[in-house]
């Protein structure tokens, strides 16, 4: 109770000080402009973080992400120290430690846990994007064999089924109509990194088969389907290898923890026996 009154007195003193300091309208309007919550929140927007979030597939604005981090850290510190303040206990280091853990796990810098998580997510997203490209190629082959729709109509029809290359496909279909097939495919290839393993081959296959009808296409696709199968097999194996590495890591954790547990218990037992109180 005493602490509560103390806090109340402090707050009212601060309020009076603010009232006195902002008695002049000019200063008050300046304060109001500087301390506008929207303006303060806008400062948290960061383009670098936004790019990182976009590449790792997190659909949230950088402003909100930063706001969430800060609110979480403040909440941890306030709850941790607030309760110990009201109950007249000695403050501990635990809330500070928790706040540090929160910062460490969500920071986008390279040498923190958050940076590690983001880079993992980015790699995963890249693999998924490659999977969608293969899927696009397979759908193209299927379309060419059975239905033989116009290329731009086909691309427009399948675009809602993809989540990662959705935007590229919509633009590709517009560009085919406007600039012609070759330029549009050039643009599409440029959307991927230069050392991409197979997007060039996709371009070659589409260029070779588009505009040709009938038996020739089927013959050509039969030849090419071996290449496609090899690409997809490579992709599959690489994905499978990352998965098994991850699974091995996860699987090793309980055994390691049990090992440490037994050692710690034996040490603890020795310390208890030596010093019973």
Partner 1 sequence: MTFIRIFFQVSYFGGLAWIVMLLAESRIKKGSLRIKHRFRHHAEKMQSWRKVWLIRHIDGLLYLTSSHYQPGVSAIRFILRSSYLILIVFITLMFVDEVPRIAYQNPFLIQEPLTTSIPWTGALVLSLVFGVLPYVVLRIRYSHNVVKASYDLADVVKIMSRYAHLSVSSALRYTADDLSAANVLKRPLYVLSSVFSSYGSFAELQAEAVKFSNAIRTTFATQFVLDLLYIEKEGVQHFKRSLLYLNDSIEHQRQAILRAKDENRDAISLGIWVNAFVILLLSTFAIRHLTWRVFFKLLLQTTIGLYMSAFVFISFIVAFVIGRILSRPKLDY
As measured in angstroms, the least distance from the Cβ of 251 to partner 1 is 3
In this structure, are residues 77 and 99 in contact, taking their beta carbons and an 8 Å threshold?
yes
As measured in angstroms, the least distance from the Cβ of 249 to partner 1 is 10
Q: Please state the φ and ψ torsions of residue 61, each to the nearest 5 degrees.
A: -80, 150
Using rule CB under 8 A, residue 86 touches partner 1: no
148: left (phi over 0), alpha (psi -120 to 50) or beta: left
Q: For residues 235 and 133, what is the distance between their CA atoms, to the nearest angstrom? A: 11
Instruction: Point out which span in 16-24, 118-126, 136-144, 178-186 binds partner 1 (CB under 8 A).
Output: 136-144
Binding mask 66-85 for partner 1 (x = CB under 8 A): -------------x---x--
Q: Which of 147, 193, 194, 214 binds partner 1 (CB under 8 A)?
A: 147
Q: Which of 120, 142, 153, 219 binds partner 1 (CB under 8 A)?
A: 142
Using rule CB under 8 A, residue 253 touches partner 1: yes
Residue number with CB closer to partner 1 (52 or 137): 137
Q: Which of 18, 47, 51, 16 is nearest to 35 (CA)?
A: 18
Using rule CB under 8 A, residue 131 touches partner 1: yes
Q: Please state the φ and ψ torsions of residue 122, each to the nearest 5 degrees.
A: -65, -40
DSSP class of residue 107 equals -
Using rule CB under 8 A, residue 166 touches partner 1: no
How far from 258 is each of 46, 250, 252, 265, 267, CA to CA, in Å? Answer: 43, 14, 10, 10, 14
Size of site (CB under 8 A) for partner 1? 48
User: Which residues 213-252 are close enough to bind partner 1 by CB under 8 A?
Assistant: 229, 232-233, 235-237, 240-241, 243-244, 246-248, 250-251
How is residue 199 written in tokens?
A: 């997007």
Q: For residues 3 and 26, what is the distance between their CA atoms, to the nearest angstrom? A: 36
Residue number with CB closer to partner 1 (28 or 166): 166
What is the residue-wise DSSP string for 161-218? G-SSSHHHHHHHHHHHHHH-HHHHHHHHHHTS-TT-SSHHHHHHHHHHHTT--THHHH
Instruction: Point out which span in 8-16, 108-116, 157-165, 208-216 binds partner 1 (CB under 8 A).
Output: 157-165
Chain residues binding partner 1 by CB under 8 A are 79, 83, 131, 134-135, 138-139, 142, 145-147, 157-158, 160-161, 163, 229, 232-233, 235-237, 240-241, 243-244, 246-248, 250-251, 253-255, 257-262, 264-266, 268-269, 272, 276-277
């Amino acid at each position: 109770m005493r602490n509560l009154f103390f806090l109340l007195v402090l707050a009212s003193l601060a309020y009076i000080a603010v009232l006195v300091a902002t008695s002049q309208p000019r200063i008050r309007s300046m304060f109001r402009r500087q301390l506008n919550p929207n303006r303060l929140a806008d400062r948290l927007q960061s383009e670098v973080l936004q790019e990182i979030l976009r590449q790792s597939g997190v659909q949230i604005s950088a402003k909100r992400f930063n706001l969430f981090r800060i609110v979480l850290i403040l909440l941890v510190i306030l709850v941790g120290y607030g309760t110990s303040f009201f109950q007249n206990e000695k403050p501990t280091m635990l809330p500070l430690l928790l706040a540090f853990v929160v910062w460490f796990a969500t920071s986008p810098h390279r040498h923190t846990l958050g940076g590690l998580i983001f880079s993992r997510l980015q790699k995963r997203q890249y693999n998924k994007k490659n999977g969608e490209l293969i899927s696009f190629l397979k759908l193209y082959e299927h379309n060419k064999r059975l239905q033989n729709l116009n290329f731009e109509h086909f691309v427009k029809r399948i675009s809602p089924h993809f989540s990662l290359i959705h935007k590229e496909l919509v633009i590709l279909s517009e560009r085919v109509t406007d600039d012609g097939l070759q330029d549009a495919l050039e643009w599409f290839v440029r959307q991927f990194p230069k050392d991409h393993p197979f997007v060039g081959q996709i371009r070659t296959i589409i260029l070779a088969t588009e505009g040709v009808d009938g038996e020739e296409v089927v013959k050509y696709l039969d030849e090419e389907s071996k290449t496609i199968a090899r690409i997809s097999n490579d992709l599959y194996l690489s994905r499978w290898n990352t998965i098994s590495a991850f699974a091995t890591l996860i699987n090793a954790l309980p055994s390691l923890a049990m090992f440490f547990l037994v050692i710690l218990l034996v040490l603890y037992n020795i310390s208890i026996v030596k010093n019973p109180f």
